[in-house]
Structures are given as C-alpha cells and as structure tokens.
Amino acid sequence: SQQGEEDPQALSIQEGENATMNCSYKTSINNLQWYRQNSGRGLVHLILIRSNEREKHSGRLRVTLDTSKKSSSLLITASRAADTASYFCATDPNSKLTFGKGITLSVRP
Amino acid sequence: DTAVSQTPKYLVTQMGNDKSIKCEQNLGHDTMYWYKQDSKKFLKIMFSYNNKELIINETVPNRFSPKSPDKAHLNLHINSLELGDSAVYFCASSQWDRGIDYGYTFGSGTRLTVV
C-alpha cells in the first residue's frame, strides 16, 4: 500500500519561478526522503529529513517536515529547464522505503 | 564508476520464457533491493537483502526469485514470464550507520517488455 501521496500530480511553471510540491503520509516515520526521476532514468536521492528535523536545505532545495500534520513540502527555487522530471517522496514504515505516486514537474524555458 | 549497475538495460522476451536481471553495487552498502515501476510510474518494493540474507519479501509471485551471491550483488530471476510482468525493474542499495539511514542509491533500471 502507498504511504506517501504527493500533491499536485502535475506542475508546470516558467523557468526562474519557484516550484512547491507537497507530500502527505499516513504512519509514523523515521525519515522522509525526496527523489527525482528524469524521463527514462533511475531515481536520484535529493534530500533526507529526519523525523526530529523541521527544515533542511540543499542548494536550491528546501524541505520542510510537519510530523503533527504528517506532511512535507519540497521547494525548488529559481527553477531551471533541467529540473523537469518526476519527483517522489518516500517514507520508511517498517524499514521499507515506500514511495508516493510522484509529481511531474515541467519547467518551461 | 557507476555506483549501482544493472544489466541488461532493455529486455524484450516472449511469454513463458525465463530471464534474469543482474545488479551490482560498488558502494560497500549492506542492503540491496528490487523495486518494480509500472506504467503509471508507481514504485513498489519487491525484495530486500541485507548481507546476503532475505529480509523483505513482498507479495510477489513465486515466479520471481532473487539471489544474492554476496553483499555486492543481487540478481532477479523470473520464470514463466507473463504480459503483466512488463515494467521497469530497479535495483537499489542503502547503508545504515548506527541506525541512521542515508538514503537509497538506485540503478538506471531494466525495462522488461513481455510480448
């Protein structure tokens, strides 16, 4: 069964704009992770936020975690055409990394 | 150097055939996984091995048999292939250090098409 649910399912923005993607989950977690998948490629680990952390930054990425609401958001600032990809949140109930359905992000040049 | 490598990248085969997909990681990770991604991009874990021992076996038909000869390799053998087995199969590895997870590293996938 799915643990994470991303929102929106698809997002289209102009280059230079910020992209915000949300993820909700159901059970308690040790950490929440975000991955990117370019078309026809494997998943790339972007960032991991632990359950005792509220916010984390990595380059143009900012992740927040609200365990009381069982939700997380991924913000990509100053988007580029190369950010066009599918983004997945993943959580680890029972030590099994479980993915949401993903968000398709299109960045228009 | 590719961290997690899978072969083959593409596999087209007829129904009823038996095929294998190989995976190797050079990261020194203890745990390896097989995931299946369907046409709607939904990823589902199939198996997990830790130091050659099976630790996760999801509800997968027993036509699928993983084998881990050592902790750097995890192969997937599929018997009597069916049309519904068509998908992209991803191998991944991870390392836990004193109870802390550092995320998974994925291979580039094997696109299996059963005709």
Task: Read off the pLDDT of residues B3-59 as tens digits, 9 standing for 90 and up.
Answer: 999 999 999 999 999 999 999 999 999 999 999 999 989 999 999 998 888 888 888
Count Cβ atoms below 10 Å from residue B88 Cβ, excluding itself. Answer: 20
How does pLDDT run across B45-61, given as a tens digit for each residue? Answer: 999 998 888 888 888 89
Identify whether the C-beta of residue A89 lies closer than 8 Å to the C-beta of residue A74: yes
Rounded Cα distance between A40 and B42, Å, is: 14
Identify whether the C-beta of residue A39 lies closer than 8 Å to the C-beta of residue A20: no
When scoring A39, A51, A88, A95 by the number of chain B Cβ atoms within 10 A, the one with the most, hence best to mutate, is: A95
State phi, psi for B99 to the nearest 5 degrees. 80, 0
Which tokens go with A90? 């993943």
When scoring B6, B23, B43, B102 by the number of chain A Cβ atoms within 10 A, the one with the most, hence best to mutate, is: B43
Q: Is A88 an 8 Å CB contact of chain B?
A: yes
